[in-house]
Chains A and B, each alone.
Chain A
Amino acid sequence: MTKRTIIPIGPYHALQEEPEFFKLHVEGEKVVGLEIELGYNHRGIEKLSESKHYDQTIFLVERICGICSTSHPIACVQAIEDAGDIEVPERALYIRSLIGELERIHSHMLWLGLAGHFLGFNTIWMWAWRYREDVLDVFELITGNRNHYAMMKAGGVRRDIKSEDIPAIKKMIGNLVKPLTLFKNAVVDDPVIHARTKGVGTLTAQQIIDYAALGPTARASGVLIDVRRDHPHAAYGLVDWDVIVAQNGDVFDKAVVRILEMFESLKIIDQCLEKLKTVTGPIDSNPREIKPGEGVGHYEAPRGEVFHYIRSDGTNRPARHKVRAPSFMNIVTDREAVIGQTVSDATIILAAVDPCYCCTERMAAIDVNSGKKTFTSADMIRLSQAKTEQVKKQLGAPGPQIKLL
Chain B
Amino acid sequence: MLLIQFLIFPGFLFAATIGLVTSWIDRKVTARVQMRVGPPFLQPFYDIIKLMIKETLVPAGTSKWFFLSAPLLGITAVSLASLILWRVLLTPSQTFMGDLIVLIYLFTMPAIATVLGSFASQNPLASLGGSREMKLILAYELPFILVLLVPVIKLQSIRLGDILLGTAAVHSISGVLALLVAILCMQAKLTLVPFDMPEAETELTGGAYIEYSGPPLAMFKLTRAMMLFTLPIFLMTVFWGGIPFAQGWLPLFLGILKYIALVVIMVLVRNTAPRVRIDQAVKFFWGPLTIIAVLAAILAYLGW
**Closest B residue to A121 using CB positions:** B274
A residues near B280, Cβ cutoff 8 Å? 195-196
Bound-state CA distance A154–B190 (Å) is: 58
B residues near A196, Cβ cutoff 8 Å? 274-277, 280
Given that A116-B274, A120-B194, A127-B34 are contacting pairs, would A344 and B124 also be in contact in the complex, using a CB cutoff of 8 Å? no
A residues near B170, Cβ cutoff 8 Å? none
Cross-interface CB contact of A120 among B33, B34, B131, B274, cutoff 8 Å: B274
Mask of B91-134 contacts with A, CB within 8 angstroms, 1/0: 00000000000000000000000000000000011001001100
Q: What count of chain A residues pass the 8 Å CB interface test?
A: 34
* Chain B, interface residues (CB within 8 Å), range: 20 to 34
A residues near B271, Cβ cutoff 8 Å? 122-123
Asked whether A87 is an interface residue with its Cβ less than 8 Å from the other chain, the reply is no
Contact (Cβ within 8 A) A127 B200: no
Given that A120-B196, A196-B276, A344-B197 are contacting pairs, would A14 and B34 also be in contact in the complex, using a CB cutoff of 8 Å? no
Bound-state CA distance A291–B125 (Å) is: 57
Contact (Cβ within 8 A) B277 A123: no
Total A-B Cβ pairs within 8 A: 84
Main DSSP-derived SS at the A contact region: helix
Given that A126-B35, A126-B36, A344-B203 are contacting pairs, would A119 and B274 also be in contact in the complex, using a CB cutoff of 8 Å? yes
Which residues of chain A from 109 to 130 have a CB within 8 Å of any chain B CB? 116-127, 130
Asked whether B247 is an interface residue with its Cβ less than 8 Å from the other chain, the reply is no
Asked whether A13 is an interface residue with its Cβ less than 8 Å from the other chain, the reply is yes
Which residues of chain B from 281 to 300 have a CB within 8 Å of any chain A CB? none
Cross-interface CB contact of A119 among B33, B204, B275, cutoff 8 Å: B275
A residues near B204, Cβ cutoff 8 Å? 343
Asked whether B201 is an interface residue with its Cβ less than 8 Å from the other chain, the reply is yes
**Closest A residue to B127 using CB positions:** A5
Which residues of chain B from 124 to 149 have a CB within 8 Å of any chain A CB? 124-125, 128, 131-132
Asked whether A141 is an interface residue with its Cβ less than 8 Å from the other chain, the reply is no
**Closest A residue to B193 using CB positions:** A120
**Closest B residue to A1 using CB positions:** B131
B residues near A125, Cβ cutoff 8 Å? 34
Asked whether B62 is an interface residue with its Cβ less than 8 Å from the other chain, the reply is no
Minimum-distance CB pairs A-B, first 10? A120-B275, A126-B34, A121-B274, A119-B274, A344-B277, A123-B271, A118-B202, A5-B124, A14-B205, A130-B35
Task: Mark A residues whose CB is within 8 Å of B.
Answer: 5-8, 13-15, 26, 28-29, 116-127, 130, 190, 192-193, 195-196, 342-347
